[in-house]
Amino acid sequence: MDVGVLGSGAIVPLALASMEAVPGIRVKALWCREHSRQRGEALAREYGISQVFTDLESLFREGGVDTVYIALVNPVHYAYARAALLAGKNVILEKPFCPSFAQAQDLAELARRQGLFLLEAMPLWHGALFRKVRELVPRLGPIRVVQCNYSQYSSRYDRYLQKEVLPAFDPAAFGGALYDLDVYNIAFAAGLFGRPEKVAYAPNRGWNGVDTSGVLFLQYPGFQAVLTAAKDSNSPSFLQIQGEKGWLKVEGKPIHPHRMVWKFVQGPDRDQFSTGAGKKEESVQSWTPPERKNRMVEEFGDYARIVNGKKKAEAEAYLQMTLTASEVLERAAHSFPGVCVNKFSVELSSQYSYAAKCRVKSTVDENPMIRCDGVGVTRQGSPSRTPRGQKNRPAVKVIAGLLFSICNVSEQVRMGTSAKKKQFQYNDVKLHCPHLS
């Protein structure tokens, strides 16, 4: 597997060290933005990467790669993954996979049509511990309760409290507890139990509307799952499943599990009022996963085995898990009321970038409404100029991006416009853009 890495952020050194430890992977190239070239070149020197690109199409054309690993900020996952698939490259995409379920579905359909591999970088699914959990779950009997907690006081939270908004706490960058931490709990539940019947999210909101912590409720046939995530406080993290014939608990954070304990039981528990014989039970058993120097080695080992061995059926199984988790994530984001004001920008090509200031209002009982207070297009070297003959096209693309990425509209876009009122209608979503040219 000849890999091109897109990005130079905090996760990239860990990923590069992991790929270095997998015999079936050769990292041929690294792409980064022009302003990050110095950091990209430093990473290339450290990990023996021969080529550094700042033009994406050049990497696709000249990098000698068959697979790209995308470790960019959340809002651009879809655009870059789609570009890579269209260029004929397999894609390994960091979590959260896409901001919307529609985007995830589109990437999946494109990968299938192209005959390419599309995999989510979700380490939880690729470790020995998850395989052990899958082995034991059927022995727990009918499942009744699932509890997951991933809580860690963010290293950026103090700065957030001082009104400094980094991507981890920026709603426009899909920051917050749901997209950053609860996504792992969702992956655990979706990977084991599939699609829930009902989804509801109850967040604690910070001063800019972002969810600094929250509790996600999933209803499955016969049992409930409660998934907690927090970036504003700390507690022991765990994953726990309770059934009528036993329970199991994974101790530690989903990305750093250090032990699993379980117990099989039969019959009623003996309480303080019981005078008769209690249940028959086995003693608590435990299992410790193999020690890992780098938590990403197992997953990249799987990716290399799947791509190099052309394991299409296995890749499709993982993709189905990704799509289920993506749908749950979107339903969770839709399930609570709130108003947030964002700045949103996305690169739609190597030549143009588009930006908008918008106010997004979405409640449980009301249709979503977006008010765009300004839309602009920037061409490289020529700020605020709109390409000739495309006066409204950039604005429309921005609106589509806002809909899919912020409001998470999952249905096929159906647009109607009113030139005088500058209003747009996408299914049930209304937009008012008074400043469109």
CA dist., res. 369 & res. 18, Å (int): 44
Q: List, for residues 252-303, the tens digit of each pLDDT value.
A: 999 889 899 999 986 676 665 665 555 555 689 999 988 877 889 999 999 9
**CA proximity to 58, closest of 34, 76, 38, 26:** 34
212 vs 277, more confident? 212
Q: List, for residues 17-52, the tens digit of each pLDDT value.
A: 999 999 999 999 999 999 999 999 999 999 999 999
Residues 6+ apart with CB under 8 A from 76: 346, 347
Q: List, for residues 91-137, the tens digit of each pLDDT value.
A: 999 999 998 899 999 999 999 999 999 999 999 999 899 999 999 99
Q: What does residue 311 show for φ and ψ, rounded to 5 degrees? A: -85, 75
CA dist., res. 259 & res. 251, Å (int): 5
CA dist., res. 266 & res. 273, Å (int): 19
Question: Residue for token digits 């061995």?
Answer: 309
Structure tokens at 294: 């780098």
Structure tokens at 8: 């130079």
Angle at 51 between CA 46 and CA 53, to 5 degrees: 110
pTM score, two decimals? Answer: 0.77
73 vs 187, more confident? 187
Under 8 Å between Cβ of 190 and 324: yes
Residues 6+ apart with CB under 8 A from 50: 28, 29, 44
CA dist., res. 90 & res. 84, Å (int): 7
- DSSP code per residue over 60-106: HHHS--SEEEE---GGGHHHHHHHHHHTT-EEEEESS--SSHHHHHH
